[in-house]
Amino acid sequence: MIGLESSSVAHQILASEAQLIAVLERHDKGELNMYNPLVYAVDPHCSYVCKYGDSEKPILFVGMSATPYGMAQTGVPFGNLKHVRDYLGLSNFDVKSPKNEHPKLPITGWETLRNDQEGNRFWKFFESRYSAKEFTKKCYVTTYCPVLYLDQKGKEVPPPCLPHVLRNQVINVCDMHIIDIVDILRPSIIVAVGGFTHQQVGKLFCSREVGPLVFPLLHPAPSNPASLKRWNNIVNDQLVFAGVPQMIAGSNYVPSTKEEKKKKRCSKE
**228 found inside a domain:** no
According to DSSP, residue 48 is labeled H
∠ CA 8-146-11 to the nearest 5 degrees?
Answer: 10
**150 found inside a domain:** yes
**257 found inside a domain:** no
Question: What long-range pairs does 90-93 form, CB within 8 A, spacing at least 24?
Answer: 90/44, 90/47, 90/48, 90/51, 93/41, 93/43, 93/44, 93/47
So what's the pLDDT on residue 180? 97
Q: What is the CATH number of the domain that holds 69?
A: 3.40.470.10
Other Cβ atoms less than 10 A from the Cβ of 158: the count is: 16
**72 found inside a domain:** yes
d(CA 156, CA 148): 7
**227 found inside a domain:** no
So what's the pLDDT on residue 257? 56
So what's the pLDDT on residue 224? 73
So what's the pLDDT on residue 227? 63
Tell me whether strands 59-65 and 139-145 are parallel, antiparallel or unpaired. parallel
What's the average model confidence in pLDDT over 164-177? 98
| pTM reported for the whole predicted model | 0.91
Q: Are 146 and 17 in contact (CB under 8 A)?
A: yes
Q: Kindly tell me if the per-residue pLDDT of 145 is higher than 60.
A: yes
Q: Mean pLDDT in the chain? A: 91
Residue 221, classed as helix, strand or coil, is: coil
Q: Kindly tell me if the per-residue pLDDT of 6 is higher than 90.
A: no
- One-letter amino acid of 121: R
So what's the pLDDT on residue 255? 76
**157 found inside a domain:** yes
**252 found inside a domain:** no
**27 found inside a domain:** yes
Domain that holds residue 124: 8-215
- Reading phi first (left if > 0) and then psi (alpha if -120 to 50, else beta), residue 211 is in left
Q: How many structural domains compose the chain?
A: 1
More confident residue, 63 or 264: 63
